[in-house]
Amino acid sequence: MSLITPTILLINYGDFEKNFLQAIARDVDQEFHLPVSVEEGTTDLEPYFDSIRRQYNANGILKSMDSDSPSRYLKQLGLFRVDLFIPILTYIFGQALLNGPSGIASLYRLRNEVYGMAKDEDVLRERFTKVVIHELGHAFGLVHCHHPACVMRSSTYVEDIDQKSRHFCSQCRITLEKVLP
Protein backbone atom coordinates (compact mmCIF):
# COMPACT_ATOMS: atom_id res chain seq x y z
CA MET A 1 0.00 0.00 0.00
CA SER A 2 1.54 3.29 -1.08
CA LEU A 3 1.04 6.51 0.80
CA ILE A 4 -0.23 9.56 -1.04
CA THR A 5 1.75 12.70 -0.37
CA PRO A 6 -0.24 15.95 -0.20
CA THR A 7 1.52 17.22 -3.31
CA ILE A 8 0.33 18.18 -6.78
CA LEU A 9 2.37 16.72 -9.63
CA LEU A 10 2.78 18.54 -12.94
CA ILE A 11 4.08 16.17 -15.63
CA ASN A 12 5.99 17.79 -18.47
CA TYR A 13 4.95 15.97 -21.66
CA GLY A 14 5.53 19.03 -23.83
CA ASP A 15 9.25 19.65 -23.49
CA PHE A 16 8.59 22.93 -21.67
CA GLU A 17 11.41 25.15 -20.48
CA LYS A 18 12.35 24.83 -16.82
CA ASN A 19 11.65 28.51 -15.98
CA PHE A 20 8.22 28.34 -17.63
CA LEU A 21 7.27 25.29 -15.55
CA GLN A 22 8.69 26.72 -12.34
CA ALA A 23 6.54 29.84 -12.75
CA ILE A 24 3.41 27.75 -13.28
CA ALA A 25 4.28 25.47 -10.35
CA ARG A 26 4.75 28.52 -8.12
CA ASP A 27 1.35 29.92 -9.13
CA VAL A 28 -0.36 26.55 -8.55
CA ASP A 29 1.30 26.27 -5.14
CA GLN A 30 0.07 29.76 -4.20
CA GLU A 31 -3.49 29.03 -5.30
CA PHE A 32 -3.89 25.58 -3.73
CA HIS A 33 -1.54 26.08 -0.76
CA LEU A 34 0.03 22.72 -1.53
CA PRO A 35 3.54 21.81 -2.64
CA VAL A 36 3.93 21.23 -6.36
CA SER A 37 6.43 18.85 -7.98
CA VAL A 38 7.38 18.87 -11.64
CA GLU A 39 8.56 15.73 -13.38
CA GLU A 40 9.48 14.91 -16.95
CA GLY A 41 7.18 12.49 -18.71
CA THR A 42 7.08 10.60 -21.98
CA THR A 43 4.09 9.10 -23.68
CA ASP A 44 3.18 7.91 -27.15
CA LEU A 45 0.39 10.19 -28.36
CA GLU A 46 0.02 8.46 -31.74
CA PRO A 47 -2.89 6.23 -30.61
CA TYR A 48 -4.85 9.38 -29.72
CA PHE A 49 -4.25 11.24 -32.98
CA ASP A 50 -7.32 11.65 -35.18
CA SER A 51 -5.99 12.04 -38.73
CA ILE A 52 -9.26 13.50 -40.03
CA ARG A 53 -9.41 16.21 -37.37
CA ARG A 54 -5.61 16.51 -37.12
CA GLN A 55 -6.01 16.71 -33.34
CA TYR A 56 -5.51 14.52 -30.29
CA ASN A 57 -8.39 12.90 -28.43
CA ALA A 58 -8.22 14.25 -24.88
CA ASN A 59 -10.49 11.48 -23.57
CA GLY A 60 -7.98 8.84 -24.62
CA ILE A 61 -5.00 10.72 -23.22
CA LEU A 62 -6.76 11.30 -19.90
CA LYS A 63 -7.88 7.68 -19.69
CA SER A 64 -4.31 6.56 -20.33
CA MET A 65 -3.00 8.82 -17.55
CA ASP A 66 -5.64 7.52 -15.13
CA SER A 67 -4.84 3.88 -15.92
CA ASP A 68 -1.08 4.27 -15.52
CA SER A 69 0.42 3.09 -12.27
CA PRO A 70 -1.26 4.70 -9.27
CA SER A 71 0.29 8.00 -8.39
CA ARG A 72 1.73 8.71 -4.98
CA TYR A 73 0.63 12.31 -5.47
CA LEU A 74 -2.64 13.87 -4.40
CA LYS A 75 -3.40 15.04 -7.96
CA GLN A 76 -1.45 14.99 -11.20
CA LEU A 77 -1.79 17.06 -14.35
CA GLY A 78 -0.15 16.30 -17.69
CA LEU A 79 1.10 19.34 -19.60
CA PHE A 80 1.06 19.15 -23.41
CA ARG A 81 1.64 21.24 -26.55
CA VAL A 82 -0.80 19.43 -28.87
CA ASP A 83 -4.23 20.40 -30.20
CA LEU A 84 -6.81 18.61 -28.02
CA PHE A 85 -10.43 17.75 -28.75
CA ILE A 86 -13.28 15.74 -27.34
CA PRO A 87 -15.88 14.34 -29.74
CA ILE A 88 -18.55 16.90 -28.86
CA LEU A 89 -16.28 19.97 -29.10
CA THR A 90 -14.07 21.39 -31.85
CA TYR A 91 -11.20 21.88 -29.39
CA ILE A 92 -10.48 22.13 -25.68
CA PHE A 93 -7.75 23.71 -23.57
CA GLY A 94 -7.75 20.97 -20.92
CA GLN A 95 -9.77 18.29 -19.23
CA ALA A 96 -10.13 16.60 -15.86
CA LEU A 97 -12.76 14.35 -14.39
CA LEU A 98 -14.63 15.75 -11.41
CA ASN A 99 -12.88 14.42 -8.28
CA GLY A 100 -10.54 12.41 -10.52
CA PRO A 101 -6.89 11.70 -9.83
CA SER A 102 -5.56 13.49 -12.89
CA GLY A 103 -6.11 15.95 -15.67
CA ILE A 104 -4.47 17.35 -18.77
CA ALA A 105 -3.84 20.82 -20.17
CA SER A 106 -2.41 21.98 -23.48
CA LEU A 107 -1.14 25.37 -24.49
CA TYR A 108 -1.62 24.74 -28.23
CA ARG A 109 -4.68 26.98 -28.63
CA LEU A 110 -3.48 29.46 -26.00
CA ARG A 111 -0.73 30.85 -28.25
CA ASN A 112 -1.38 34.28 -29.78
CA GLU A 113 0.04 33.03 -33.08
CA VAL A 114 -2.97 30.73 -33.53
CA TYR A 115 -5.15 33.87 -33.73
CA GLY A 116 -2.88 35.90 -36.01
CA MET A 117 -1.36 38.01 -33.23
CA ALA A 118 2.23 38.54 -32.15
CA LYS A 119 3.86 35.98 -29.89
CA ASP A 120 3.64 36.94 -26.20
CA GLU A 121 5.23 34.58 -23.68
CA ASP A 122 3.78 36.44 -20.66
CA VAL A 123 0.22 36.14 -21.98
CA LEU A 124 0.84 32.50 -22.86
CA ARG A 125 2.09 31.66 -19.36
CA GLU A 126 -0.84 33.49 -17.74
CA ARG A 127 -3.37 31.65 -19.91
CA PHE A 128 -1.73 28.28 -19.32
CA THR A 129 -1.60 28.90 -15.57
CA LYS A 130 -5.34 29.60 -15.55
CA VAL A 131 -6.09 26.40 -17.51
CA VAL A 132 -3.88 24.33 -15.19
CA ILE A 133 -5.52 25.76 -12.05
CA HIS A 134 -9.00 25.33 -13.60
CA GLU A 135 -8.42 21.66 -14.45
CA LEU A 136 -6.94 20.95 -11.03
CA GLY A 137 -10.02 22.63 -9.56
CA HIS A 138 -12.17 20.02 -11.34
CA ALA A 139 -9.91 17.24 -10.05
CA PHE A 140 -10.55 18.57 -6.54
CA GLY A 141 -14.32 18.50 -7.13
CA LEU A 142 -15.10 22.05 -8.24
CA VAL A 143 -17.69 22.58 -10.97
CA HIS A 144 -17.95 25.52 -13.36
CA CYS A 145 -18.67 28.81 -11.62
CA HIS A 146 -20.77 31.75 -12.82
CA HIS A 147 -18.67 34.43 -11.10
CA PRO A 148 -17.11 36.38 -14.02
CA ALA A 149 -13.59 36.60 -12.56
CA CYS A 150 -13.38 33.10 -11.04
CA VAL A 151 -10.82 30.76 -12.53
CA MET A 152 -13.54 28.07 -12.49
CA ARG A 153 -15.71 29.95 -14.97
CA SER A 154 -16.08 27.95 -18.16
CA SER A 155 -13.82 29.01 -21.03
CA THR A 156 -14.92 28.22 -24.54
CA TYR A 157 -12.65 30.78 -26.18
CA VAL A 158 -9.23 32.16 -25.34
CA GLU A 159 -10.89 35.54 -24.71
CA ASP A 160 -12.84 33.90 -21.87
CA ILE A 161 -9.55 32.87 -20.29
CA ASP A 162 -8.16 36.39 -20.67
CA GLN A 163 -11.18 37.91 -18.91
CA LYS A 164 -11.00 35.81 -15.76
CA SER A 165 -8.41 35.80 -13.01
CA ARG A 166 -6.28 32.86 -12.00
CA HIS A 167 -7.86 32.85 -8.54
CA PHE A 168 -10.91 31.12 -7.10
CA CYS A 169 -13.88 33.27 -6.12
CA SER A 170 -14.79 33.25 -2.42
CA GLN A 171 -17.46 30.56 -2.89
CA CYS A 172 -15.18 28.22 -4.84
CA ARG A 173 -12.40 28.86 -2.30
CA ILE A 174 -14.73 27.77 0.55
CA THR A 175 -15.68 24.61 -1.35
CA LEU A 176 -12.04 23.87 -2.14
CA GLU A 177 -10.86 24.39 1.43
CA LYS A 178 -13.27 21.65 2.57
CA VAL A 179 -11.52 19.02 0.42
CA LEU A 180 -7.87 20.09 0.64
CA PRO A 181 -5.70 18.19 3.13
SS (H, E, C) 12-32: ECCCCCHHHHHHHHHHHHHHH
How many CA within 13 A on the CB side of residue 22? 3
Residue 121 CB-half CA count within 13 A = 7
Residue of 121, 110, 111 whose CA lies nearest to 20: 121
Against a cut of 0.85, is the pTM above it? Answer: yes
pLDDT computed for residue 131 by the predictor: 98
- Do the Cβ atoms of 176 and 151 come closer than 8 Å? no
Neighbours of 62 (CB within 10 A): 23
39 is catalytic: no
Q: Above 60 in pLDDT, residue 69? A: no
At 70 the pLDDT is 59
Percentage of the chain lying above the pLDDT 90 cut: 92
Q: How high is the pLDDT of residue 2?
A: 56
In terms of Cα–Cα distance, which of 134, 127, 131, 124 is closest to 169? 134
Q: Cα(180)–Cα(67) distance, rounded to whole angstroms?
A: 23
Q: What pLDDT is attached to residue 1?
A: 46
If you ran DSSP here, which 8-state letter would residue 38 be given?
E
**pLDDT at position 71, please?**
74
Considering the candidates 17, 39, 126, 135, report the single residue annotated as catalytic.
135
pLDDT of residue 28: 98
Give me the mean pLDDT over the 149-153 stretch.
Answer: 98
